Structure 1
């Protein structure tokens, strides 16, 4: 059994905790094991995953603010009906980059993203313009200055998007995308402790991880399917 646990940990780059590995033992090998035993083995072998909290920023004075229409209802039965977006900071090596992501709450898939060395309105508009959303789709963000800008408001209006915003200083209002950005860092940069990264290497790490997250990384809420697997099975 230990060899199977090691295989699953290595196969998934040591990103899963003992609960997920316990479920994978059953899914992959039809092996039912008490999760406490899996925890003990992973702890003894040094295979437990590690996490680190995400830093947040308080940006400038808002131009336009709307109410929280999402209201922490992160469930939807249809793709591209409810989406969430956020920016996170990539401070690694001697580099400073920003990642803007949009997640479809239907299957928690990252459907658009942009990596840039400049955090401005054009940066988030580039992410938004990757999508052709249905009229009335709900897009939720925080109250960062790029999302409360006139240009972003006009873009959402022209696309027929219903904009929703978190209450100020309330990270839980946008918990899903906050979680994704935290997991991305925990399972790449923090896990492997890379040093002396270049901008290109950071971009490669993020792009490769998003492919892995969308196509391979299982989630319990998706019946242990990846976001893409879940979407295809439901089609």
Structure 2
């Protein structure tokens, strides 16, 4: 071979070098595939190629999203998909409706500026289980939630009280929800007023006004609930509790948070302000 004579190496040496290079490439590919699988299964099959690529880069892998997608396809790894769900709360009531203060402005300057709340439902073999959640808009962190077999004002009050304990309200905090009778109840709005929290409600029939918390409920159904067959409400409660605290808040990265978790994003805010 001409190249061998040019560089002064033997043919056998050249082929040994090619084999060694191919072996190193195979080993690198194997390590990458193993790490992709590790992230994929740690996320319980919830992460697709974009989020897995972000996680790989955090650990030092220099890899493209297309390459990750190709490996996932070859290995049969596919992110679980969403299903649609309907609204739950009833806005056909005679209670006072508050104006929309949020007006679809979902970006805030820090934690404790705006909270959003909503209710969704989960089917079990014992019947329906209702989940009420409160999210801090800055970090997308679930700061309060409650579950019950009935969709009552007590359900949303308990979620709110837990949010207040977890993140004591700052002056000027906005609480946004839909127009459901639970959120418009005198008992619920009294708690908000007593804490000097501003009350904001969505426009009639406009799901986009409360998109962030509705998106969370869509995500938990897509990534957890639709893949379960809960025998009891107790089983569902335990599963959802673990998802929110052990996965969603602490491990699941968000594209809107620059691929950080809610806990990481919140912590970064406080560290930055402590240093200032």
Matched, 1:15 2:51: no
Q: After TM superposition, where is structure 1 displaced by more than 4 Å over at least 4 residues in a row? A: none
Larger radius of gyration: 2
Contact persistence 2:88–2:119 (CA under 8 A): no
Structure 2 counterparts to residues 65-104 of structure 1, below 5 A: 65-104=97-136
Match of 2:254 among 219, 222, 226: 219
Normalized against structure 2, the TM-score is what?
Answer: 0.79
Structure 1: gaps (5+ residues): none
Contact persistence 2:130–2:151 (CA under 8 A): yes
In structure 2, distance between residues paired with 1:210 and 1:194: 16
Matched, 1:173 2:209: yes
Aligned residue in 2 for 1:231 = 266
Bigger Cα displacement from structure 2, 18-27 vs 207-216: 18-27
Which secondary structure state, in structure 2, belongs to the residue aligned with residue 139 of structure 1? strand
Structure 2 counterparts to residues 29-68 of structure 1, below 5 A: 29-33=60-64, 35-44=65-74, 45-57=76-88, 59=90, 60-68=92-100
The CA deviation at 1:65 is 0.3
Contact persistence 1:62–1:148 (CA under 8 A): no
Bigger Cα displacement from structure 2, 128-137 vs 209-218: 128-137
Deviations 1:19-43 (A, max 9, x none): 111222222242322x233334334
Aligned residue in 2 for 1:194 = 228
The CA deviation at 1:62 is 4.0
Contact persistence 1:42–1:48 (CA under 8 A): no
Normalized against structure 1, the TM-score is what?
Answer: 0.92
The CA deviation at 1:186 is 1.1
Which secondary structure state, in structure 1, belongs to the residue aligned with residue 182 of structure 2? coil
Q: Alpha carbons of 1:94 and 1:231: their partners in 2 closer, same or farther (altered >3 Å)?
A: same
Higher relative contact order (CA 8 A, sep 6+): 1
Aligned residue in 1 for 2:4 = none
Which secondary structure state, in structure 2, belongs to the residue aligned with residue 146 of structure 1? helix
In structure 2, distance between residues paired with 1:205 and 1:53: 21
In structure 1, distance between residues paired with 2:68 and 2:85: 28
Q: Alpha carbons of 1:196 and 1:124: their partners in 2 closer, same or farther (altered >3 Å)?
A: closer
Structure (1 or 2) with the greater helix fraction: 2
Contact persistence 2:89–2:119 (CA under 8 A): no
Aligned residue in 1 for 2:35 = 4
Contact persistence 2:123–2:230 (CA under 8 A): no
